Amino acid sequence: MAMNRERPTILLVEDHRTTRTFLADNLTVDGYEILMADCARDALRLLATKFPDLAIVDLGLPDRDGLELLRDVRESDGAAGRIDRHIPLLVLTGRTGELDKLRGFDRGADDYVSKPFSYPELRARIEALLRRTERKESRGLLRAGPIQIDPLARQAWLHGDRLELSKKEFSLLRALASDPTRVFTREELLRGVWGYATIGRTRTLDSHAYRLRRKLGEGGDRLVLNVWGVGYRLMDGAAEEAVT
Amino acid sequence: MIIATTGWIVAAASMALVLRLRTLSAWRMELVARACHELRGPITVARLGLELLAREDGCRPEAVRAIELELASAGVALEDLSVAHQGRRGPWRLGAVDVAALLAESVEAFRPLALARGVELGHHCQGCSGVVGVDRVRLAQATGNLIANAIEHGDGHVELCGRTDCAGLEISVNDGGPGLPAPVGDLVRRARSGRGRRGRGLAIAADVAQRHGGRLVAAADDGGSRLKLELPLKQG
């Protein structure tokens, strides 16, 4: 999911309403798109459906400890939850002890800011984290859940394991991964990947999708999803958002 | 037999006393931890709210900066408080400081108090350049304590002066009051040893100066008192 550098999206997970509102207002004025959650459950839902560029996480959440939320994100396999396990996570908390900080970093925090904090400093840290992410993206790497794709090297990995894909399988995966929860119509894929000018009755797309799904292993049935009568999408994002 | 029984009774009583003291100490630490927890939220909210106010038209930026500096000082005091039970102080953040701006913000922060007390508060700088290797907020804390002292015990006019030269930074606070009741060293020592309610602000200012390799001194003046922070800092 490529970052919108013009207006990056930040998920703000904070249960204290005034802090959340004031922080969101400041960040909005500074040009960020803000998603807000007041508990870990909502945070996970937004991470899985809205794909923010960065998350600011308070540790004292009402339903679960924020450290567990960090662990869930970092251990997400992407196929089930569609959460980008590599999303920059900034912890913003009143727990200020050295041990607390070590625990935070151990569970996957990229940065740790103690309350009370200076807003300009927080903003500078957010920018630094986003810059780092942007550098990775500028290399052209695509990431969708457990799948990582390097279009230049024409290589793909699942959970870090390299996938052996044919030329068309790779192109199909790359096309779907460019917008993982969007449904690509059969026509779009046949034109874009196979270069077909006219779309007749062909099983080419289905057979390639079938083979690609098999190569994606056990979790493959939750990837490369067939939307009957329409086409394919890589992951089921919108559906879950609608029911939660 | 009697001696042995008495020994056991004394040992048991001592053990009970130790346990009681430990429980009491743990409870005190818990109370401090709770107070710190409860202070973090309001200071965070106040700083964020101030940041929003600063973006609005018609807002006096110098007043906003002064309040922000005061809230930052409160944050530093909170950090000190939260690690006090370990016999430590909170972290020091050394960096570059614009001395003229810092003094202006300190004066602005105390202007309402000075007005309420009918004290005229002024400041001036002599060749004030930036200095490096300073904890800005803690220096503001030290300066603020001297200003508050002067407003409370001085008379009529309080003047804050800053000066930087090759020897470092000098910040002095002059007031037209009756002067210090005792040598500054004695007042600081008394406060450090926990004796008396007076002099705590002076002790904080002296500690900040010492931590920067400098000192707090009382300089001779025609009338009133003149306290001076002398810090051997590099100009930056």
Q: Give me the pLDDT at residue B221, please.
A: 62
Mutate to test the interface with A, among B44, B76, B136 (most CBs of A within 10 A): B44
Verify whether the Cβ–Cβ distance B48 to A19 is below 8 Å. yes
Verify whether the Cβ–Cβ distance A96 to B43 is below 8 Å. no
Q: Give me the pLDDT at residue A238, please.
A: 44
End-to-end, the C-alpha distance of chain B in Å comes to: 77
With respect to residue B2, please indicate whether it lies within any of the assigned structural domains.
no
Mark which residues 20-59 of B lie under 8 Å from A by CB: 36-37, 40-41, 43-45, 47-49, 51-52, 55
With respect to residue B156, please indicate whether it lies within any of the assigned structural domains.
yes
Which residues in chain B have Cβ-Cβ distances shorter than 8 Å to A19?
41, 44-45, 48
Q: Which two tokens stand for residue B70?
A: 């005061």
Among residues A62, A52, A56, the alpha carbon closest in space to that of A15 is found at: A62
Verify whether the Cβ–Cβ distance A116 to B82 is below 8 Å. no
How far apart CA A133 and CA A2 sit, in angstroms, is: 10
With respect to residue B19, please indicate whether it lies within any of the assigned structural domains.
yes
CB atoms within 10 A of CB A57: 24
With respect to residue B219, please indicate whether it lies within any of the assigned structural domains.
yes
Distance from CA of A35 to the nearest CA of B (A): 18
Which residues in chain B have Cβ-Cβ distances shorter than 8 Å to A116?
40, 43-44, 47, 71, 74-75, 78
Verify whether the Cβ–Cβ distance A19 to B79 is below 8 Å. no
The complex scores an ipTM of: 0.72
Which residues in chain B have Cβ-Cβ distances shorter than 8 Å to A16?
41, 45
Structural domain for B137, as ranges: 10-231
Which CATH number is B203's domain given? Answer: 3.30.565.10
**What average pLDDT does range B7-18 have in this prediction?**
88
With respect to residue B236, please indicate whether it lies within any of the assigned structural domains.
no
How many domains in chain B?
1
How far apart CA A45 and CA A4 sit, in angstroms, is: 20
pTM for this prediction: 0.68
Of all residues in chain B, the percent with pLDDT exceeding 70 is 95
Model pLDDT for residues B159-191, shown as the tens digit of each residue: 999 998 888 899 999 988 777 878 888 888 888
Verify whether the Cβ–Cβ distance A117 to B41 is below 8 Å. no
**What average pLDDT does range B113-121 have in this prediction?**
91
Model pLDDT for residues B87-101, shown as the tens digit of each residue: 888 888 898 999 999
Low pLDDT (below 50) residues in chain A: 1-2, 79-80, 238-244
CA separation, residue A26 to residues A21, B88, B204 (Å):
9, 34, 34
Verify whether the Cβ–Cβ distance A115 to B82 is below 8 Å. no
With respect to residue B4, please indicate whether it lies within any of the assigned structural domains.
no
Distance from CA of A53 to the nearest CA of B (A): 22
Strand order in the sheet with A147-150: A142-144, A147-150, A155-158, A161-163
Q: Give me the pLDDT at residue A188, please.
A: 86
Q: Give me the pLDDT at residue A181, please.
A: 82
A99 Cβ under 8 Å from any chain B Cβ: no
B113 Cβ under 8 Å from any chain A Cβ: no
The per-residue pLDDT of chain B, averaged, comes to 87
Model pLDDT for residues B14-26, shown as the tens digit of each residue: 888 888 888 888 8
Q: Give me the pLDDT at residue A138, please.
A: 57
Model pLDDT for residues B56-84, shown as the tens digit of each residue: 888 888 889 889 999 999 999 999 998 88
Decide if pLDDT at B132 tops 90.
no
Q: Give the closest of A23, A94, A96 to B48, CB-based.
A: A23
With respect to residue B187, please indicate whether it lies within any of the assigned structural domains.
yes
**What average pLDDT does range B106-110 have in this prediction?**
92
With respect to residue B192, please indicate whether it lies within any of the assigned structural domains.
yes
CA separation, residue B30 to residues A31, A142, A181, A228 (Å):
41, 49, 49, 61
